[in-house]
Amino acid sequence: MIRHGGDGQLAFYRCWSPTPVALATLARVAGTRWAVEEGFQTAKSQAGLDHYQVRTWTAWHRFITLAMLALAFLMACAAQAAPAPPADPWHHARTRGPIALTPAEIRRLLGALIITPLRARLAAPPGVTGHAHHWSHWRRLHQGHARRSHYQRRLATDLGP
């Protein structure tokens, strides 16, 4: 199989099956590879999956288990906070709200609002918690604007003149 990327690059896949398989099935299975790679990238960046410095298998197994548990917690929180998917496929091109909470944003909020040591919180000036919430909302609002612009451009390209 050969996949043509939007940038002109080609991706080649060598496929094998003990029984004949439809091309659509092979394409679907090849496409799931990207979801798996994105999952690993998220685990590395959000849960520290690649930050282990252990010398024994038992220690490695414990670290990886805790990292995957942390990632599962972040993903469950993101799924719980996500709104229901809209019926309109171009909803993102027409709305101006912030994007839904992402695992990265939930991790930032947990760090700013919960994990910060109590001593540092008591010594901090008033309004630190409000600042973290305000910054999170501002960042997600601007990401929502960027997503809206992206979808509007795609909509204009797809519907074209």
Question: What one-character-per-residue DSSP string does the chain give?
Answer: -EEE-TTS-EEE-----SS---HHHHHHHHHHHHHHHHHHHHHHHHH-TT----SSHHHHHHHHHHHHHHHHHHHHHHHHHSPPPPS-TTHHHH--SPPPPPHHHHHHHHIIIIIS-HHHHHHSPTTHHHHHHHHHHHHHHHHHHHHHHHHHHHHHHHH--
Q: Any idea which of 16-20, 31-35, 130-134 has the lowest mean pLDDT?
A: 130-134
Of the chain, the end-to-end C-alpha distance in Å amounts to 33
As to burial, measured by CB atoms within 10 angstroms (0-12 exposed, 13-18 middle, 19+ buried), residue 43 is buried
Over range 95-111, report the average pLDDT.
Answer: 87
Between 63 and 2, the more confident residue is 63
- pLDDT, residue 94, reads 80
Q: How many CB atoms lie within 10 A of CB 1?
A: 12
This model's pTM is above 0.75: no
- pLDDT, residue 38, reads 87
Q: Tell whether the model's pLDDT for residue 133 goes beyond 80.
A: no
Over range 5-11, report the average pLDDT.
Answer: 72
Q: Which of 10-14, 43-47, 117-121, 131-135 has the highest mean pLDDT?
A: 43-47
Amino acid occupying residue 59 = A
Q: Are 64 and 43 in contact (CB under 8 A)?
A: no
Nearest to 134 by CA among 118, 119, 112: 112
Over range 84-100, report the average pLDDT.
Answer: 82
Rg (CA), the chain: 21
Dist. CA 46–CA 67, nearest whole Å: 9
Q: Tell whether the model's pLDDT for residue 76 goes beyond 90.
A: yes
Q: Confidence band (pLDDT; 50, 70, 90) for 6?
A: low
| pLDDT (tens digit per residue) in 35-50 | 888 888 989 989 988 8
Over range 10-28, report the average pLDDT.
Answer: 84
